[in-house]
Amino acid sequence: MPVQAGERYAPRDPLSALSSPRRREILRFIWSHERPAGEIARGFDVSWPAISQNLRVLKESGLVRERRSGTSRLYRANRAALRPLEAYLRHMWERDIDRLRLAAEAEERNRSKS
């Protein structure tokens, strides 16, 4: 995504970055270990440009960190970037779980009356 003169770069939304199954797989692959780009590419049955584009999206969303070592680029998951998402998802799921609990309790009361 080229940035024009005078424009401010806006990072990608982490939830959007995680919407791709391939990007989630890449994130899992580099979750615990820093890995060079070539090793990441060899772990998937897609082209190098596709892996590179997915790594760029993950990096722009803040979910992945890149470090250069000589001519290599090393990638690792940025776990701290997921903390705000965790709180958001927990809040969203808690509401749904509460609704499910209330529906189940109402169903149980209706069965008890019958």
The string of DSSP codes covering 70-110 is TTEEEEEE-GGGGHHHHHHHHHHHHHHHHHHHHHHHHHHHH
Backbone CA torsion sign across 66, 43, 83, 14: positive
Domain shared by 26 and 67, yes or no? yes
Q: Please check whether residue 2 lies inside any domain of the structure.
A: no
Express each pLDDT in 53-83 by its tens digit: 999 999 999 999 999 999 999 999 999 998 8
Domain shared by 65 and 88, yes or no? no
Total domain count, the chain: 2
Residues whose CB is less than 8 angstroms from the CB of residue 81 and which lie 6 or more positions away in sequence, other chains included? 14, 61, 62, 63
Rounded average pLDDT over 84-110: 84
Q: Please check whether residue 94 lies inside any domain of the structure.
A: yes
Domain shared by 73 and 24, yes or no? yes
pLDDT at 61: 94
Domain shared by 91 and 106, yes or no? yes
